[in-house]
Amino acid sequence: MMIQVNQLTRYYGDLCAVNGISLKIEKGEIVGLLGPNGAGKTTTLRMLTGFLRPTSGDITVNGLSIHNDMPAIKRLMGYLPEAAPVYDDMLVYDYLVYVADVRGIRREEQSDRISRVAGMCGLQPVMHQPVAELSKGFRQRVGLAHAMIHDPEILVLDEPTSGLDPNQIVEIRDIIRQAGKEKTIIFSTHILSEAEATCDRIVIIDKGRIVADQATGELIAEAGGDRALFLSLAGADPETAKVGLAGVKGVQDVQVQPSDPSDPSGVVRLKLVCAPDPDPRRVIYAHIRQTDWDLLEFYGETQGLEHIFRKLTTEA
Ligand SMILES: Nc1ncnc2c1ncn2[C@@H]1O[C@H](COP(=O)(O)OP(=O)(O)OP(=O)(O)O)[C@@H](O)[C@H]1O
């Protein structure tokens, strides 16, 4: 086991921001800390990285305690804080040299480390540009490179994609996934799809407490995650298709989507509401193969996570 959080608690005056959180994180896991604004995510991550002292409770990393061994723990960790650091007019390359100096990386190793993190974070095209002139997406990559400069075993990322556009989000997510192949990653987000796409495990916190802690797939399944499957068929009679597909085991409901009157192709679009188990996709496909319909589209969506998140984090 790698990280153990024990009854971690933090008060700000009278306000209990983190309330007795306990958590184990194994080596190599990608864990998403999910929760609404003010849930206590940032406070938790700041205690984990040694920037904030807990009111009570303990965290150990590879057996080292934050109370006694913080310098050693910091060497194992890279941290991307929530607010983008205030950068000056340094060039990206110089900034990374500076960061490597602060981390105590020897001069002869620096250029190696810098080119490695620049490669991982896709920074090559901007290495000789001033940090101040970069887009938000590239700044965030510089932040990630900063966090990874000393090749830490553990990466702690606070809302790594907040404020980015959809393309930038995908790029940052790819970097996180890639890094996750060799590192343990803990990141916070309030975006569900983010957690679903990237994490092995999701921990949901609300008002300073853990309200769910499970493997991503399990959590979605347990959410009663009805899955919607969407089909587009050419050459099918809507009523026949509806009745035929409604008979497949696991299909709970079939809705014929309204067709576009300006579309003369006669394509039938169906939405199938399905139970998570048994997975009906193979049987649906086998059913279609026995007809003379052309299958134009077949894709699925889960809405389970959003459902459970709302259920767990809004008051009844
Ligand atoms: N330095 C501080 N002093 C007083 N209260 C604070 C401080 N930092 C955070 N809080 C409060 O503690 C609670 C938890 O805040 P925290 O920033 O940890 O939540 P979060 O889940 O990270 O939310 P967000 O997504 O908005 O950053 C909030 O009610 C917040 O207002």
pLDDT tens by residue, 217-231: 888 777 665 678 899
- Which residue has its alpha carbon closest to ligand 1 atom 8? 43
DSSP state of 257: P
- Which residue has its alpha carbon closest to ligand 1 atom 11? 17
pLDDT tens by residue, 230-262: 999 999 999 999 999 999 998 989 999 887 667
Residues with CB under 6 A from ligand 1: 12, 15, 17, 35, 37-43, 190
- Which residue has its alpha carbon closest to ligand 1 atom 6? 12
DSSP symbols for 124-161:
GGGTTSBGGGS-HHHHHHHHHHHHHTT--SEEEEESTT
Measured CA distances, 240 to 145, 225, 245, 272, 297 (Å): 56, 27, 8, 14, 18
Domain ranges of the chain: 3-222, 225-303
- Which residue has its alpha carbon closest to ligand 1 atom 25? 37
The Å distance, Cα 74 to ligand 1 centre, comes to 23
- Which residue has its alpha carbon closest to ligand 1 atom 1? 12
Q: Tell me whether the CATH fold assigned to 3-222 matches the one assigned to 225-303.
A: no
The answer to whether 202 and 34 are in contact (CB under 8 A) is yes
Fold of 3-222: Rossmann fold (3.40.50)
**278 cis-preceded (ω within 30 degrees of 0):** yes
The Å distance, Cα 40 to ligand 1 centre, comes to 6
The answer to whether 106 and 54 are in contact (CB under 8 A) is no
The answer to whether 228 and 273 are in contact (CB under 8 A) is yes
Distance CA(33)–CA(158), nearest Å, equals: 9
CATH 3.30.70.260 fits 225-303, yes or no: yes
Q: What residue spans of the chain are helical by DSSP H? A: 41-48, 70-76, 92-102, 107-120, 136-148, 166-180, 192-198, 216-222, 238-246, 281-289, 304-313
pLDDT (tens place) for every residue of the chain, 316 residues total:
599 999 999 999 999 999 999 999 999 999 999 998 899 999 999 999 999 999 999 999 999 999 999 999 999 999 999 876 666 789 999 999 999 999 999 999 999 999 999 999 999 999 999 998 998 889 999 999 999 999 999 999 999 988 888 888 888 999 999 999 999 999 998 887 788 888 999 999 999 999 999 998 888 777 665 678 899 999 999 999 999 999 999 898 999 988 766 776 789 999 998 877 788 899 999 999 999 999 999 988 765 677 677 777 876 4
Kindly give, in sequence order, each residue whose CB lies less than 8 Å from that of residue 38, ignoring residues fewer than 6 positions away.
none
pLDDT, residue 223, reads 65
- For the CA of 39, the nearest atom of ligand 1: 21
The Å distance, Cα 10 to ligand 1 centre, comes to 11
The answer to whether 3 and 21 are in contact (CB under 8 A) is no
- What's this model's pTM, rounded to 2 decimal places? 0.77
The answer to whether 180 and 27 are in contact (CB under 8 A) is no
The answer to whether 155 and 29 are in contact (CB under 8 A) is no
Tokens coding 136: 């938000």
Distance CA(204)–CA(212), nearest Å, equals: 5
- Which residue has its alpha carbon closest to ligand 1 atom 3? 12
Tokens coding 110: 């620096």
Tokens coding 195: 């957690």
- Which residue has its alpha carbon closest to ligand 1 atom 24? 37
The Å distance, Cα 17 to ligand 1 centre, comes to 7
Distance CA(180)–CA(173), nearest Å, equals: 10
The Å distance, Cα 158 to ligand 1 centre, comes to 13
Q: Single out the residue of 200, 166, 163 nearest to residue 185, CA to CA.
A: 200
pLDDT tens by residue, 51-92: 999 999 999 999 999 999 999 999 999 999 987 666 678 999
The Å distance, Cα 16 to ligand 1 centre, comes to 10
HEC string for 204-247: EEECCEEEEEEEHHHHHHHCCCCEEEEEEEECCCHHHHHHHHHC
